[in-house]
Amino acid sequence: MSRPFNPVARWLAPALCAAVLLGCQTPAPAPPPAPAKSEVRAQALKQLGFVPGAQAEVWELSLGVKLLFETDVDAVSTSGQEALREVARTLGRIGIDKVRVEGHTDNVGPRRYNDGLSRRRAESVAQELVRAGLSARDIERLGHGPAKPVADNGTPTGRAQNRRVVITVLAE
């Protein structure tokens, strides 16, 4: 005896099987969350040599020998110019446009002269950053003269470390 043709049964059985199989599938894992903007900035700043400053969200860069100056010199060295171009490109890429450039000197010579020399050093570095694409109006320039030494001014090595420029950014 044959059964009568049932069109509902013809599609119902495969549909139920498909539903059961789909219900057993493990969902694809969610993609990992994109890193937060602050994490991206922090990583890029660390790669450039910035270190966290004393205040939260402030990062300071001292490019070592690349931003050290000889006695009575305010011009940026060739290696310093190259390093500053890379700094400016990276800061622009990660959306940091406000920069503070602080010039320093050792304690040799008159205080008034050293104050002016430290400002000229800061200006020299600021001009390199502008040539590399940062806006001149977004760069604060400060000269501290010999007021903030990082090393002993009683030795030639210490004085050399104090003749420097430090770049500070706010990585909000």
Instruction: Specify the amino acid at residue 11.
Output: W
**Domain containing residue 122:** 37-170
Task: Let me know if residue 25 belongs to a domain.
Answer: no
Task: Let me know if residue 164 belongs to a domain.
Answer: yes
Task: Let me know if residue 22 belongs to a domain.
Answer: no
Q: How far apart are CA 10 and CA 90, in angstroms?
A: 64
Handedness of CA 73, 77, 81, 86 (dihedral sign): negative
Chain mean position to CA 21: 50
Task: Let me know if residue 21 belongs to a domain.
Answer: no
Task: Let me know if residue 160 belongs to a domain.
Answer: yes
Q: What is the pLDDT of residue 63?
A: 61
Task: Let me know if residue 44 belongs to a domain.
Answer: yes
Q: What is the pLDDT of residue 4?
A: 59
Specify the number of domains making up the chain.
Answer: 1
pLDDT tens digit string along 42-90? 788 787 777 777 666 777 776 655 678 999 999 999 988 999 999 999 9
Q: How far apart are CA 62 and CA 69, in angstroms?
A: 12
Q: How far apart are CA 95 and CA 82, in angstroms?
A: 20
Strand partners, 100: 140, 168
| CATH code for position 64 | 3.30.1330.60
Q: What is the pLDDT of residue 71?
A: 93
Tell whether pTM > 0.75.
Answer: no
